Amino acid sequence: MHDKGKILLIDDDPAVLLTVGDRLRLEGYEVLKAASGDQALGVLRSETPDLIILDITMPGMTGLAFLKKISMQDGRPRYPVLIFTARSNMQPFFSETSVEGFLAKTSDPQRLIDEIRRILDKARKGASTGTAGRRRLLIVENDARIAALLGTFFRSAGFDTITLTDTEGLIAAVAERKPEVVLLKEVLPRHNGRAAAVALAQSAVGANVRVIVYDDSGIHRPDARFPNVDRFVASHAPTDLLKAIASVTGTGTGAPT
């Protein structure tokens, strides 16, 4: 029985997939495998791992390219990532990124198990308490200027903010980060906010998430109501959105002073 967590192991070396995969299963983890970055992206369309163990040097999509693919606008990966590579000289580079850990393949095998436990324990504590007690907010906004404005404002208001540029990966981000509220821009490149709200509500992870859709185009009336949307705001002004969050969660505004 796999009850310790789900791990996605990405490496182009069949021997690593076999030996490390078998060790992780013996430790009680569910193991998903991918021999390339492209294969791993395919796995992530249907699976939500608790941790990704990522090799860097792979043919085709490199580990760095894969890491960029799964990262949000603020540079943080959507999943905890442990770099596992033969290129031990790259540790200083990854110390400046948002990955959870770095381990050389030449390390003692027990160090890998210990590092996995550390990362998963940290993730579980964060899920139960929030980031330093901060409430989690996911923002979907494709305009970089507005996204930066909202991110800065809500961090000052005491939120742990997560930002996506479109609705791709929304459900996976909600499953991984467990936000209390999702702010969805109505007009997005691929889907509108209303459609994304419906898709989220129909997923297994969206039932308890409050959804606010906002739009300053003037197309919709300020009192517009949409299915699976808790509140519509005819503005992207941070203070207006904060008031909407307070109204749907029953909390104070916590506005920055």
pLDDT digits (tens, 9 = 90+) for 33-60: 999 999 999 998 888 889 999 999 898 8
- Is 76 inside a domain boundary? yes
User: pLDDT of 124-140, one tens digit each?
Assistant: 766 555 444 568 899 99
Residues spanned by the domain of 219:
135-249
Same domain, 119 and 144: no
* Band (255; pLDDT cuts 50, 70, 90): low
Asked which of 95, 129, 163 is the last residue of a domain, the reply is: 129
The rounded mean pLDDT for the chain is 87
Number of domains in the chain: 2
Same domain, 245 and 188: yes
Pairing of the two strands 6-10 and 210-214:
unpaired
pLDDT reading at 70 higher than 60: yes
- Is 143 inside a domain boundary? yes
Q: Could you please report the per-residue DSSP string of 137-191?
A: EEEE---HHHHHHHHHHHHHTTEEEEEESSSTTHHHHHHHH--SEEEEESS-SSS
- 212 DSSP 8-state letter: E
User: pLDDT of 168-227, one tens digit each?
Assistant: 889 988 988 889 999 999 999 878 999 999 999 999 888 789 999 999 888 899 999 999
Q: What is the pLDDT of residue 257?
A: 41
- Is 91 inside a domain boundary? yes
Q: Would the pTM count as exceeding 0.75? A: no
* Band (1; pLDDT cuts 50, 70, 90): very low
* Band (251; pLDDT cuts 50, 70, 90): low
Same domain, 55 and 19: yes
* pLDDT average, residue stretch 79-108: 85
Tell me if 69 sits within 8 A of 96, measured CB to CB.
no
Tell me if 167 sits within 8 A of 203, measured CB to CB.
no
Same domain, 120 and 17: yes
Q: What is the CATH number of the domain that holds 42?
A: 3.40.50.2300
Q: What is the pLDDT of residue 133?
A: 52
Same domain, 154 and 117: no
Asked which of 82, 105, 129 is the last residue of a domain, the reply is: 129
Same domain, 187 and 110: no
Greatest distance between any 2 Cα atoms in the chain: 62
pLDDT reading at 105 higher than 60: yes
- Is 204 inside a domain boundary? yes
Asked which of 129, 151, 172 is the last residue of a domain, the reply is: 129
State percent of the chain over pLDDT 90: 51
Pairing of the two strands 30-34 and 51-54:
unpaired
**Torsion, CA 162, CA 163, CA 166, CA 170, rounded to 10:** 0
